[in-house]
Amino acid sequence: MDAAVRSRSGTTAVISPLRPLVKAGRSREPVIEAQIRALLVCSDLELESRLSIADRADAGFVSEEAAVYLLRERHRAGDGEGATRIAERLVARSAGYVSRQIAAWNMRPHSHADDCMQDIYADMLQCLFDLSPGAEFWEVRFWLCLKRRVTNVVHHYAERRQIENSLTQARPDDDDQAQETDISDEAAPSGFARVEDRDAAAEALSQLPPNERATFVLRNYEGLPQEEIGRILGVSERQVRNRLVRADRLLRDWRARQMQ
């Protein structure tokens, strides 16, 4: 439905319908559509001013989804610089979120964290400027699309870190060796495996190699039995038990270091 709006000069203008989302079943929230329509008749200066409003309760606040729509429309129209300025605003908005995610992964030294954050933003920019239907979901759920990118990038940096810290990287044949300590599904878990203090456990999880972390989470957060974990991960129950033993040992070592 066309929307009749009053332009800056005071005359009434009719603007085209908003570009629909291509993929079936997707829709924008009405409040976002209303924001977009209001912004389409803003001057560049007004838009810049509204994009810098950080208070979400402010009537002039522009949602990230609306900002992405405008960015893509400018890019589509060939205004690359205008689109990039909107991207800069989205970077500023998301800096707190991205830095908290990096902090949770205990990424040290800072140069690794900085490189990781730069890669996250490079990925985000690539998506925002991708006009294919595959990238339009950023106009619907910006923060979850960003969260997925953050998860992927930090995971790969963490994997690389584990490879560099090869002392903690399990050799493939370690998985299948008989261990002195066995963990049954009913056995009492260690302090971390109990996950009553979930935040402390979650903070320590970033220190685990990927295989051990996945096994530990499936056991202690998802509550799956070892047999099912083995089936899901494509490993034997012995390998599952060995990974849990190693995870437990690594987490206890980490906690001991934190207490020193």
Partner 1 sequence: MDREVDRDELYVRWTEDRRAAAPLPLSEWLERYPSCREDLLLWTADAPIADLAERRPTYPDGEARAEAAGARAVAEFRARYQSPIESLLSSAQQRGLLPADLAARVGIGEPVLYKLERRMLLVATVPGTLVRRIAQTLAVSVDQIAAYVAQPPALARGAMYKSDRAPRVGAQQEFAAAVRTCPEMAEEEKSYWLELAARECGQDG
Site residues, partner 1 (CB under 8 A): 23, 26, 80, 84, 87-88, 91-92, 94-96, 98-105, 110, 113-115, 117-122, 124-126, 129-132, 134, 137-138, 141, 144-145, 147-148, 150-152, 154-155, 198-199, 201-203, 205-206, 210, 213-214, 217-218, 221-222, 224, 228, 232-233
- Of 38 and 123, nearer to partner 1 (C-beta) is 123
Long-range CB pairs of 143-152 (<8 Å, 24+ gap) are 143/64, 143/97, 146/94, 146/97, 146/98, 147/101, 149/120, 149/123, 149/124, 150/97, 150/98, 150/101, 150/120, 152/123
- Of 47 and 145, nearer to partner 1 (C-beta) is 145
Quote the least distance from Cβ 51 to partner 1, whole Å. 14
Termini Cα distance of the chain: 65
- Of 182 and 222, nearer to partner 1 (C-beta) is 222
- Of 52 and 118, nearer to partner 1 (C-beta) is 118
Quote the least distance from Cβ 135 to partner 1, whole Å. 8
- Candidates 81, 88, 83; CA nearest to 72 is 83
- Candidates 159, 170, 173; CA nearest to 246 is 170
- Candidates 138, 150, 148, 149; CA nearest to 64 is 138
Quote the least distance from Cβ 10 to partner 1, whole Å. 36
Quote the least distance from Cβ 230 to partner 1, whole Å. 12
Quote the least distance from Cβ 31 to partner 1, whole Å. 18
- Of 26 and 37, nearer to partner 1 (C-beta) is 26
Q: How far is residue 222's CA from residue 131's CA, in Å, rounded to a whole number?
A: 37
User: How many CB atoms sit inside 10 A of residue 130's CB?
Assistant: 14
Quote the least distance from Cβ 84 to partner 1, whole Å. 6
- Of 118 and 179, nearer to partner 1 (C-beta) is 118
